[in-house]
Chain A
């Protein structure tokens, strides 16, 4: 069964303390890996799509990278406004996205 596993479940950082979130997946023939940001009580907001190993995408303090087995979301010098839950997802067979449980990020000023 295709699976998406995110780690850690929760991460607490000081403002300016860089770190990485992990998303590992087991699917046959990756057709894209998606990262979303979700604020409490709101719908997920699309961040990135990665399609092939070695691909990287950046947006402000966030950079997503992809290997054949996992993706990392690197957060450089985070600010309190980066606090959110970050979700990753992959398509599985003929069905839509399978989501991981997310990493809950807290950035403390």
Chain B
């Protein structure tokens, strides 16, 4: 059953702590994306990767970091430099080109304690 999995569903962060959100896909897609969604807002692009070992910053990359060591995996780290991390985080993938259909995972909700 192909798809995108994100874990955990809920994540809590303490002040000064880095946390990592997991995203895995078994669709054999080349490109993967991370978005942030705040209440009443559209999706805002954090980072994206079109190929293994390469990634580009999106509109709101400050305070976040990513890696793409495997085609199937694109983890996102929310660092302590991100002062307002509370949001719903969505991972997506597409076959390759940026204009192709993106398919989304179920999301991770990050809350700050």
Contacts and interface: CB of A to CB of B under 8 A. Distances in A.
A58 interface: no
A103 B101 CA distance: 20
Interface in A33-54: 34, 36, 41-46, 49
A32 B45 contact: no
B103 A46 contact: yes
Contacts of B45: 95-97
Sorting the interface of chain B by its residue count into under 10, 10 to 19, 20 to 34 or 35 or more gives 20 to 34
Contacts of B40: 101
Interface string B75-101: 000000000000010101010001101
Interface residues of A, number: 23
B102 interface: yes
A96 B107 contact: no
Interface in B29-75: 31, 33, 35, 40-45, 48, 58
A99 B59 CA distance: 12
Interface of B is mostly: strand
A20 B31 CA distance: 33
A57 interface: no
Interface string A23-38: 0000000011010100
Contacts of B107: 41-43
A43 B105 contact: yes
Interface string A74-109: 000000000000010101001111011110000000
Interface of A: 4, 31-32, 34, 36, 41-46, 49, 87, 89, 91, 94-97, 99-102
23 contacts: A34-B101, A41-B88, A42-B107, A43-B105, A43-B106, A44-B90, A46-B102, A87-B43, A91-B98, A95-B45, A95-B58, A95-B98, A96-B31, A96-B45, A97-B43, A97-B45, A97-B102, A99-B35, A99-B44, A100-B42, A101-B40, A101-B41, A102-B42
Interface of B: 4, 6, 31, 33, 35, 40-45, 48, 58, 88, 90, 92, 94, 98-99, 101-107, 109
